[in-house]
Each structure stands twice: as structure tokens, then as C-alpha cells.
Chains A and B, each alone.
Chain A
Amino acid sequence: MRDQMRLEMVNEGRFDRPGVSATIKAMPGRKNVDAALIARIVQSSDRLALRDIASHYAPRLKSWLMYRGAQSSTAEDVVQDVIILVWTKAHQFDPAKGAFSSWLFRMVRNCWIDHKRKHDRLQPTEPDIVATMADAPVDGADAAMDQSEAAQAVQAELAKLPLDQKQMLHLAFFEGLSHSEIAERTGLALGTVKGRIRAPLKKLKSRLQNFRGVDQ
């Protein structure tokens, strides 16, 4: 299954020294694999399909959570919550609206926020399912947009990015660092960090807009 990945970023150390960075290989995407697995869950409650999804994503979700300060056991509890949501909400996933990984990324974010909220005594507890769904931003009004193609375009753009930009995106979206923290970690000027994150995002956004038929 590992050979289905489009990109593989192997963190060979921290990004705080020149020359020490992530290695990234272009590989086939998981998008179709994931969509097929989800379809099996929807159609026949296929436990093996869920197992395949979990074996690929659970370690990555756990890593995402541990970067946010979760202990190993807490991170695994939240990952359980996320994968259970994949099982119970599989029928809501629409491959035409984007990649499974984007859906999963939103879910882990929301489950983590929910977990923190429940364990923060200052704040009221809330039904997690509602919280999970409520935080998701709504999609644009143009439901007809082929987001599936857009998702592929995003993957393709991402694969083409220079290494330094990919590293910045990894630090921002996976490790959850603010731009200032990234500047501190890498020793780069804050403006440089902002530029390296903004540039690919602008490109990706404009690729998405192209699919919506929006004039640039």
C-alpha cells in the first residue's frame, strides 16, 4: 500500500539546519485507492477496507496529533475517534467533492479541537458529532464544480513544488507551527517564510478557481 503514495516526505531530522530536510519522492496518489475503500465500507460495511484505511492513516494521524502536544495514548484515542467517524460517516463522503485525505484532514482537526474542548474544564462539553461537522467550512455555492479533478490538480501542483516550499507547508499544516515558529525553527526571515507558504497556496487556489470557472 505504501507504494500508492504520491509524495513521501521522510523527515530525516529537524529543519533547522541547512541541508537537513525532508526528502520527497513523487509517487502515485492514494486518491482512487481511498475512494474504492470507502465505497466498500458504504456498500458492504467491509471491515477489511476500514482496516486498510486505518493501517495507512492511523500512524500519520497519530503523528499529526503528537505534533500538537498529545501524548501517545491520547493521540491513539483521538485516532480511534477519527477512524470510527470514517466508518459511521462513510456515506457522507463524496469523492466528487474532493480527496478522501482532505475529508480526513478536516476530521482529525475537528476531533482534536473537540477533544481539547472536552478536557478543558473552563468550557462546556459538547456532542462531538455535531461539533465535528459544524466546524467544516461550507463549500462554494457551485456544487457542479468537479472537485475531484480539482483535488488531482492540487496533488499535481504539490508534487511540482520546490523542496523548500513543501517543507514550509509540512511545518504549517502537519506540524501546526505558526509562521513565526517556522521562522524560528528554520532560521529564515519571517517574510521569507510567509512568501514560501503564500506562493504555493496562491497557485493551488488559482488552480481550484480554474475548475470553478472563476476569472483570475
Chain B
Amino acid sequence: MNMQAQNDMHSVDEEWLASYAAGSLSRAKRLLISCQASMKPELASRLSAMDAVGGAILESAQGEAVSDGFMEKLLSNIDHLPTRANDEIELLEDQPGESETWSPAPLKEFLARNNIGLNWKKLGFGVSRATIANDNGEELYLLKAKPGLKIPDHTHQGEEWALVLQGGYHVGETAYGPGDLHREDENCTHMPVVDNDGEDCITLVALEGELKFTNPIMRMLKPVLGI
């Protein structure tokens, strides 16, 4: 294993990256990987290597014959492209995003494209949440936590992916900082502690299933807090 790279950057296993390259990841997980790649050149290069492999296989794989008339339709299509310049649409990508400097470009694009505004709701205990999407039970949201906060012990029904966009936190001895992607499954119980360095910790979270708190009081408060 390339332990050096693993120490330098927390990410998901190669298997998940291969699923990203193959187009098999959910929308929420795909966004987290795109965001992390924009923050970590190391990950971008791993994904480029996968696209190179995918491309090389595409060059030589066995094809499925296209129907008669496919080529004529193609040439007719390119003769009748809309006059509107594609560049006009692309300008959207370059427009200055929200003032949030912590937001990576793929997230800004995602929000703009889907016309989603961030509506932060205070959950109490110094935690705020902005919901982004819910696709077939997989929630995508931003979580903002005050420095020094201890998130109560919890586990998950499904998987939780969290990408740190600003600030950082520790789980035991392990530190997660900007650009680190932290994956937990239902087998892990953890209690993240937000770094007390004066900066809010902002994470982009993709969560399947619900959080399950080990503390009975937190279990009671969960519906009230909306987490």
C-alpha cells in the first residue's frame, strides 16, 4: 500500500474511486469525490489514471453494432445544432459563486445548477445544518460546528461520507482537515471532536440511513434537532 499517500490524505478506497470512474456512484457521493479532487491534486491524478485506463479499454473493447441510419442521423444532427453558442451556457461555470470561500467549485456549480440556496438551520449545541438534497434516502447536506465541540457518540444505519471543507476535527488520534474525506459505515461508533482553533468546521456530508446515537438523551432529542 502507498501508506505515504494514505497518511497525507484521507479518502475512500480505490474501489469507490473505480465506481466514480465507471459512473456508478450516487449523485451525493459523486459530488463529494469531485469536490475532494478539486481540493487534492493527488486525488485528481488518481482519477486521471483511472480515466486513462477507462479510455484505453474503450478504445479496444468489443462494441455493439449501431443501427442503420445512425451515421446519417449524426451528420444531420450536427447540421442542425441550435444556433445558441454553447459558450454562453459555460459562462455559468465561471461566474463568481457565493461569498463562501470554503466552498469548492464543484459544490458551487452543483448548487447553482440545481438552483439550491443554502439555508442554515441551527440545531443547537453549536451545530448548524444546510440541507442540499435527498435522493432516494441518501441525504446530502452541509454541517457547520463550533470549534471545540464534541459530537456525541453515534453510529449509522448506512454509510456516512464527510468531506472537510473548512476547519477540522479529530476522531481519537486521527485528524481530519480540509480536503479529507472520512467514511464511516454501520460498524463504526465514533465521537468526533472539532478542533479548537477558532474556526468553524464545515463538512459536506452524504448519509445513507439515519444517525444512531448511543446516548439515550441524544436519541430522544434527535427528532427535535432534525438530525
Instruction: Name A's B-contacting residues (CB within 8 A).
Output: 5-11, 27, 29-30, 47, 50-51, 54-55, 57-64, 66, 68, 72-73, 75-76, 79-80, 83-84, 87-89, 98-106, 108-110, 112-113, 117, 122-124, 126-127, 129-131, 133-135, 137-142, 147, 150-151, 154-155, 158, 169-170, 172-174, 176-179, 194, 197-198, 200-202, 204-205, 208-209, 212
In the assembled complex, B227 has its CB within 8 A of some CB on chain A: no
Question: How many residues does chain B have at the interface if contact means C-beta atoms less than 8 Å apart?
Answer: 64
Q: Which of B37, B53, B65, B71 contacts A51 (CB 8 A)?
A: B71
A87 to B68, CA, bound (A): 21
Q: Which of A29, A68, A123 contacts B23 (CB 8 A)?
A: A68
In the assembled complex, B62 has its CB within 8 A of some CB on chain A: yes
In the assembled complex, B114 has its CB within 8 A of some CB on chain A: yes
Closest B residue to A73 by beta carbon equals: B67
Chain B contacts for A59, CB-based, 8 A: 63-66
Provide the B30-53 mask, 1 if CB < 8 A to any CB of A, else 0.
100110011001011111111111
Do A122 and B78 have beta carbons less than 8 Å apart?
Answer: no
Do A137 and B57 have beta carbons less than 8 Å apart?
Answer: no
Given contacts A84-B81, A169-B53, A174-B57, contact A62 B63 (CB under 8 A): yes
Do A130 and B54 have beta carbons less than 8 Å apart?
Answer: no
Chain A contacts for B175, CB-based, 8 A: none
Do A72 and B67 have beta carbons less than 8 Å apart?
Answer: yes
Do B34 and A137 have beta carbons less than 8 Å apart?
Answer: yes
Q: Which of B52, B60, B89 contacts A98 (CB 8 A)?
A: B52
Do A79 and B66 have beta carbons less than 8 Å apart?
Answer: yes
Q: Output the least CB separation between B103 and chain A (Å).
A: 14
Q: Which of A27, A134, A170 contacts B109 (CB 8 A)?
A: A134
In the assembled complex, B27 has its CB within 8 A of some CB on chain A: yes
Given contacts A72-B67, A124-B115, contact A169 B93 (CB under 8 A): no
- Chain A binding surface SS class: helix
Q: Output the least CB separation between B112 and chain A (Å).
A: 9
Q: Which of B44, B50, B57, B86 contacts A140 (CB 8 A)?
A: B44
A-B contacts, 6 listed (Cβ < 8 Å): A80-B70, A99-B55, A113-B30, A129-B86, A140-B44, A174-B58
Do A99 and B56 have beta carbons less than 8 Å apart?
Answer: yes
A174 to B54, CA, bound (A): 7
A78 to B53, CA, bound (A): 22
In the assembled complex, B59 has its CB within 8 A of some CB on chain A: yes
Within B3-43, the residues touching A (CB, 8 Å) are 14-15, 18-19, 21-24, 27, 30, 33-34, 37-38, 41, 43
Do A170 and B57 have beta carbons less than 8 Å apart?
Answer: yes
Q: Which of A29, A109, A122 contacts B22 (CB 8 A)?
A: A109
A170 to B20, CA, bound (A): 15
Chain A contacts for B30, CB-based, 8 A: 113, 135
